[in-house]
Structure 1
């Protein structure tokens, strides 16, 4: 098997073997904790010494009291060489190995072994390998120590492994190399090799727990990591189970100690906080005295630092606890519970829970109190585990279901969506769906909204509004139901949820009584079937700014707020929400808020902040398993990529969005993906491709059909349609935006309506519309769209031969695009700006290929030479196909050619000169 992270150790072994081959023998002790990989290094050395005679043995606790037992195993393959020794040495060695009755002293035996090995080394190098040397018998240990210190002039290497630093004892004076744990990167590689297909969460947990121990890295991923009902689950987390190999490796030292010492180790293992005083008080009734403490501390298994106890390695603690009989563990927990100070409610509850062997309502109630303490200090995962254990000890299904529902809520708030879903399902099996919906505050609908089908989420949420006891929670669920229906592109379901929200009675809650009218004003604005007055719109605008202290569920979808043009103040609200959620460590809700912050920053031209918010939201969403929030973040990143001209990133983000959104019917996300692809094509001068994607947003029944996205995308749809000459769809799109602007007065819609009208008008009317778009108060608040208006206006001015005015607009647009990093549109603005420059020199005659083409003729010629059609050239240059034909006719005449095929032979990058006159 490949050794990961052992380059230094294998290099040392290679050097040792190379030197020995040259006659400079040596001994080396490899030491370190059990399972750290010492045996694997011995195997490496054996494989590397393929031309050597290998003598090996392994220490055994069962034979540790038998003199020369290990030496017998070591020399058995070369017993026939005893005849080569001097008679006294041969007799002494035969007596030691039980081959005769001869008796002699140990020095003579050591000398015999040295003579035997040296004789072998004269024929070929010798490698002596002793594994688990801490367990070999004392007589063999002294003999091998004698050998290892005297082979410096022989072709001999003596390798031994042990658990302790050989600073004293039989290996004193020998070189030693400590083998330590693997670095995280190497540990990850080992896990991937040992357990192919292990998911990232399991790998991370294994690496964190194993502490770099290779044996643990091999064995832990194959074990069941659900917390054992008997495990001491406390502030430091679950006690990892250990398998038989780990138990044998780590528990052997403890097994050899006195009963009081083993009791002390078990108490320390069960007391997960490492409180020395608590262990001391608990051990007083178990016969643990000063002598016992001395024994345990001398063993090195346990260390004291002030008032804290800690095991030398966490796996020692796990092995000691896991290897103890169940009754002993129960007794240890009861003793620790008694020894705890009066205020340690949570710790006492857990120890009593670990000692319980059946339902116990008193202990379950204590655990429930402990969970409440966890929630107050924002320890959601611990609260969820505590409540789950309380449910296991509950004597009735109703009590168990109630506690599982509360555990699910705690897990969700802590960002553990999958855990929350499993706990909720367990609770429903005990109590039924509606009781659990009431107990969990309608969590099943929230979970479905976060990573399921929005239509199903709507159904759950509307249903659960009627069963949750708190009116405020009913309003929150109804608000999310409206959002779910909007996400699904279902106006009918929106109306159903809106009616439910409007029907909620505040029930004497003064805060809700104040909040409900505000929400109803907002939702009246949201209701696309109702009339909107300036007064109502102003109240709705104020609504958004008053939601800062409300739950995240009450916040409206940011794109819809933008569509209504009442997003002022919403960013501050989201920032307040983010700060609160960070403080409470509610990761799932924080992911939602950050995803929406990214949308606002994007619209305000704060692209760097938008990218940071989307990236953080994506990381959080993936961490907690909130698929829909993750796709929202991909949407913001895809929008940025489209504007920046990063086609590969657009494809990557939109593919990920559609992979989630289409099967689940989340039309708002599917529409966003199509929109980003359409914009990327439009900005990349591929209007026909852009139009094909953008028209899907308004196509009834299409997977990407969504009214809000279609409304926003109208500015792109009309521009693409004008470029390709598709007038059939233009007027309907323009009217849709203008009607929305008239209904809402939204700044973006008013500016967009004027801009789109300018694209379909001619003459003075077009200029008036462009000017009106730029003069809309607040339009510059979206710098990207404002710059797009200036770009289109500048192109119109250039075609009207008003070069100076065009340069002013185009330069301003190019500056904004450059600041934002919108490279495709910046390049387009600069190209247009170059066409506005007046000629600096008269046209000069030249060779036949230098025919004095104008700048526009040269552009047309180059595109035609690339085999673009007249319509495709017209779309790129924003001129009509008829004008393209006119320019090509001039090109053919000036160059003396007759067809596009001839154009392909012209060197347009060579000495062809042109003039801008007549452009």
Structure 2
């Protein structure tokens, strides 16, 4: 296995081996906590010293009391070399190794080992490797210390590993290097290598829990938590389960302490918060005295700072807790619960829950009260964990299901949809879907709407309206059901849910009774008689502002709010919400708010703010796994790059949107992707391509068919249709927008209505419509669309040969496009502006110049010479096909030709273009 994050350590070992190859010996003690990677570094050194003689041994606790046991293991491979030593040394070493009954003299034995190793080093470099040196028997330790201090002039490297800093003891004075934990980036690489298919959540949990310990990073991802220890969840999530090797390594050190000290360590491990006073009070009944505290602190396993108590490494705490028998852990938790102050409800509940070995309604109820406190502090994840434990202790399935449903609500509020879904499924297995729907307030439909398929969400929500007991909740679910149908592009389901909402009796709730007329009208374009029923914009906008601070479920989606022209109140609400959510670090909800804010900022011309909001919302949504929110952010970014003319980015964002939205049937998002693609093509001067995408928005049964987005795209669709000469399509867009403008009176709709009339009309009627579009109160609140109107008006004026008036409109449009960064339309405006300048002598040489073609006639002639049809030329130059024919009728006599075939022979850059036949 590759050594991750150990470049400095391996470089140091390579240096020792290189110096030994040059004849200079040295020693090094590698020390650090169990599992930190010391043995792996020894193995690296052994592999790197391929040409050396390797002598190695390992200290063991079982043999730590046997004199020279480790030395026997170390020298046994070369025991035949003993006879090459001087007689006194050989005799002493044979006695130490149990090969004779000769008396042992520690100095002679040390000298014998040094002589033996030096003799071997005359043949090849020698590497002496001693692992777990803290367990090497004392006699061998002194002998190895003697050797390590005297190899400087021989090609010998002595490497030892231990748990403690060798500042004192047999290794005193030897060079030492502490081995510390891996950095997070290297820890993640190690986990990926150990478990290549590990999910992001598992990797994150492992890296946090292991604290950089490589052995823990190996063991934790593959640990079966159901069988590897019985540690119950504590308030912070509980001790991390520890694998067998780490547990043995740490527990060996704990077992060497006296019983009262071990009891102290167990209490500290179970206490979880590091409160020294609570541990002290709990330990008073366990015989924990001053000497116990002194021994615990001297051991280095635990540290104290004022009232705080902490283990040197979280894995030590885990090993102490996990290695204790269950009965002892139970007793520790009961003692801690008794030692807590009276106001520590949550902590006492958790300790009693950890001590429980079966169902216990009293403890479950106490946990439930603790969860309520968590929810009041906006600690959703902690509340969900607490309620789940309460469910485990509940004596009846109904009580367990109720608490699991409450835990799901808490998890959902905290932004953990996957946990909420799993908790709901657990509850449903206990008492069925209808009961859980009632207990959770219809959460399954809300989850499906936020993360799954809108049609399925609609089905859940409509069903659950009938089972939730609260009227307000029924209205909220019904409104989300309407919204889900809208997302799916299903007007039939939308009306079905709307009828359910209308049937709810709200007389008992004055607030709902006041809001219901507006709520109903938002979702219904017509009343039962088929007559248009306008809603006062002030009333609707005020309602949005009030609801935005109370219940998101009652609000229509942002595009529909925009369609009604009442987004001003919503934007204020979203800004306040974003600030509050940032302070509370509620990432999932913040991602939703940012995605909505980006849509509103885009329309208002705050493109930099929109880009920042969408980018941040995208990162947060991806972090919490909110696919629909992430897709909405991609959609906003796609709209932005379409206007800026970045075709590649448009393709990337819209492809991502469609990959998520099409399989799940979220037609609202699919429609947005097609709309942005169509706009990008239109702005790029490809009206036919634009029309192909835009017409899909109103095509029944299409994956992106959606009435709201077809309405928004009407202006783009009409412009593309006019450019390709499709008057019927353009006229249909006028009717569509006129109906909506009459229905709502929205500023954008009235502006769009006038613009569309200008596109399809001619003469003074067209100019009057352009002027009316620019004069609509508030039209400048959407600067991009306002500039597009000025651009179209300027082009119309230029074609009407009113050059001065055209320059004013085109210059104003170009200035707005430049400020926004809408490059394609800025270039178009400047190109049109250039055409308004006084005509000068054509710069085309030879035939064209002599013929006196105007600038526009020259453009038409060049495109016709390239083989473009009149319709294609008209689309590219934004004029009508009839005008193209008019220009060509002037070009032919000026050039002295009669057909396109002759026109194709003219080289507009230098005279006549000869045909292949040599004409």
Determine the C-alpha separation between the residues in 1 that align with 2:138 and 2:892. 102
* Paired residue secondary structure (1:129): strand
1:262/1:867 CA distance change after superposition, 3 Å: farther
Does the Cα contact within 8 Å between 2:842 and 2:854 map onto a contact in 1? no
Aligned CA RMSD, in angstroms, stands at: 2.7
Q: Does residue 666 of the first structure (1) align with residue 666 of the second (2)?
A: yes
3-state DSSP of counterpart to 1:728: helix
Q: What residue number does 1:80 align with?
A: 80
> TM-score, normalising length from structure 1?
0.94
Which residue of structure 2 lines up, in the alignment, with residue 787 of structure 1? 787
Q: Which runs of no fewer than 5 residues in structure 2 stay unpaired?
A: 913-919
1:716 corresponds to: 716
- Tell me whether 1:155 sits opposite 2:155 in the alignment: yes
Instruction: Show the counterpart of 1:917.
Output: none
Q: How far apart, in 1, do the equivalents of 2:137 and 2:418 lie?
A: 54
Partner residue, 1:527: 524
* Match of residue 915 from structure 2: none
Q: How many aligned positions are there? A: 907
Question: SS where residue 303 of structure 1 aligns?
Answer: strand
Q: Distance in 1 between matches of 2:744 and 2:439?
A: 41
Match of 2:809 in 1: 809
| Structure 2 counterpart of 1:542 | 542
Q: Hey, what's the Cα distance between the residues in 2 that align with 1:818 and 1:227?
A: 65
Distance in 2 of aligned mates of 1:611 and 1:335: 56
Instruction: Describe how 1:488-503 pairs up with structure 2 within 5 A.
Output: 488-503=488-503
Q: 1:94 to 1:824 in 2, by over 3 A?
A: same
Q: Are 2:177 and 1:177 aligned?
A: yes
Cα pair 1:411 1:420 within 8 Å, conserved: yes
1:625 alignment counterpart: 625
Measured after TM superposition, the shift of residue 743 of structure 1 is 2.3
- Aligned counterparts of 1:904 and 1:162: Cα–Cα separation in 2: 91
Q: 1:695 — aligned with what?
A: 695
CA contact (8 A) 1:849 1:895 kept: no
Tell me, yes or no, if the aligned pair for 1:30 and 1:178 is still in contact at 8 Å: yes
Match of 1:599 in 2: 599
Q: Name the residue aligned to 1:518.
A: 515
User: Which residue number corresponds to residue 345 of structure 1?
Assistant: 345
Instruction: Out of 779-788 and 324-333, give the one that drifted further.
Output: 324-333
Would the alpha carbon gap of residues 514 and 287 (structure 1) be closer, same or farther in structure 2, given more than 3 Å must change?
Answer: same
Partner of 2:58: 58
2:916 maps to which residue? none
- The answer (yes or no) to whether the contact 2:229–2:322 under 8 Å persists in 1 is no
C-alpha contact (below 8 Å) 1:532/1:744 kept by paired residues:
no
Structure 1 residue 873: deviation in Å? 3.7
In the other structure, the counterpart of 1:133 is 133
Deviations 1:305-354 (A, max 9, x none): 11111111101111111111111111111111111111111111111111
Structure 1 residue 243: Cα displacement: 1.4
Cα pair 1:561 1:567 within 8 Å, conserved: yes
State the secondary structure of the residue aligned to 2:129.
strand
Secondary structure of the corresponding residue to residue 729 of structure 1: helix
Deviations 1:189-213 (A, max 9, x none): 1111111011111111111111111
Q: In 2, Cα distance between the equivalents of 1:228 and 1:413?
A: 32
Query: Which secondary structure does the structure 2 equivalent of 1:128 belong to?
Result: strand
Secondary structure at 1:529 match in 2: coil
Please state how far the C-alpha of 1:519 moved relative to its aligned partner: 3.4
On the 8 A contact 1:232/1:270 being kept in 2, the answer is no
Residues in 1 aligned to 2:112 and 2:223: alpha-carbon distance in whole angstroms: 49
Pairwise CA distance, 1:375: 0.7
User: SS of the counterpart of 1:768?
Assistant: helix
CA contact (8 A) 2:521 2:535 kept: no
Change (3 A) 1:794 1:28: same
Contact 1:333 1:352 in 2 (8 A): yes
Q: Classify 1:866/1:233 alpha carbon distance in 2 versus 1 (closer, same or farther; 3 Å).
A: farther
State the Cα distance separating 1:226 from its structure 2 match: 8.0
Partner of 1:747: 747
What residue number does 2:678 align with? 678
Gaps of 5+ in 1: 913-919
Provide, for residues 456-483 of structure 1, a one-character-per-residue CA deviation record: whole Å limited to 9, x for no partner: 2122222222222222222211221121
Pair 1:882–1:103, CA change in 2 (3 A) = farther
Paired with 1:628 and 1:53, the residues of 2 have a C-alpha distance of 63
1:435 maps to: 435
Q: Secondary structure at the match of 1:285?
A: helix
2:34 aligned partner: 34
Distance 2:896 2:784 in 1: 41
Partner of residue 144, structure 2: 144
The 1:753–1:224 alpha-carbon spacing in structure 2 relative to 1, beyond 3 Å, is farther
Structure 2 counterparts to residues 634-645 of structure 1, below 5 A: 634-645=634-645
The answer on whether the counterparts of 1:230 and 1:353 sit within 8 Å (CA) in structure 2 is no
Asked if the contact 2:247/2:319 (under 8 Å) is kept, the reply is: yes
Counterpart of 2:474?
Answer: 474
Stretch of structure 1 that moved more, 143-152 or 857-866: 857-866
Measure how far apart 1:143 and its partner are: 1.1
User: Could you tell me which residue of structure 1 aligns to residue 21 of structure 2?
Assistant: 21
Listed as ranges, the matches of 1:285-300 within 5 Å are 285-300=285-300
Give the CA deviation at 1:567.
2.2
Query: Is structure 2 residue 244 aligned with structure 1 residue 253?
Result: no
SS at match of 2:286: coil
Superposed, which structure 2 residues align to 1:269-418 within 5 Å? 269-418=269-418
CA distance in 2, matches of 1:834, 1:375: 65
Contact 2:360/2:395 (<8 A) preserved: yes
Aligned-pair distance for 1:810? 1.4
Q: For the residues of structure 2 that align with 1:830 and 1:244, how far apart are their CA atoms?
A: 74
Distance 1:225 1:377, change over 3 A: farther
Relative to 1, partners in 2 of residues 1:703 and 1:81: Cα closer, same or farther, differing over 3 Å?
same
Contact 2:519 2:554 in 1 (8 A): no
Whether the 8 Å CA contact 2:537–2:744 is kept in 1: the answer is: yes
Distance (whole Å) between structure 2 residues aligned to residue 844 and residue 758 of structure 1: 35
Match of 1:119 in 2: 119
* Contact 1:866/1:904 (<8 A) preserved: no
* 108-117 or 888-897, which deviates more: 888-897
- Aligned partners of 2:861 and 2:903 also within 8 Å: no
Distance 1:313 1:325 in 2: 21
Q: Is the 8 A contact 1:525 1:537 kept in 2?
A: no
Whether the aligned pair in 1 keeps the contact of 2:228 and 2:243 (CA below 8 Å) is no
Separation of aligned partners in 1, 2:772 and 2:226: 65
Task: Please state how far the C-alpha of 1:565 moved relative to its aligned partner.
Answer: 1.7
TM-score (norm 2): 0.94
Higher mean Cα deviation, 550-559 or 365-374?
550-559
Q: How does 1:1-12 map to 2 (within 5 A)?
A: 1-12=1-12
2-structure distance, mates of 1:553, 1:246: 50
Distance 1:844 1:783, change over 3 A: closer
In 1, Cα distance between equivalents of 2:336 and 2:228: 18
Equivalent residue, structure 1, for 2:242? 242
Shift in CA distance, 605/836, structure 1 to aligned 2, threshold 3 Å: same
- 1:101 is aligned to 101
Quick one: distance in 2 between partners of 1:80 and 1:891?
Answer: 112
- CA offset digits 1:617-669 (Å, max 9, x no partner): 33333333332222222221211121122222222222222222222222111
Aligned to 1:220: 220
Instruction: Give how far 1:906 is off.
Output: 6.4
Q: 3-state DSSP class of the match of 2:547?
A: coil
Deviations 1:529-564 (A, max 9, x none): 224555645433332232243111122211112112
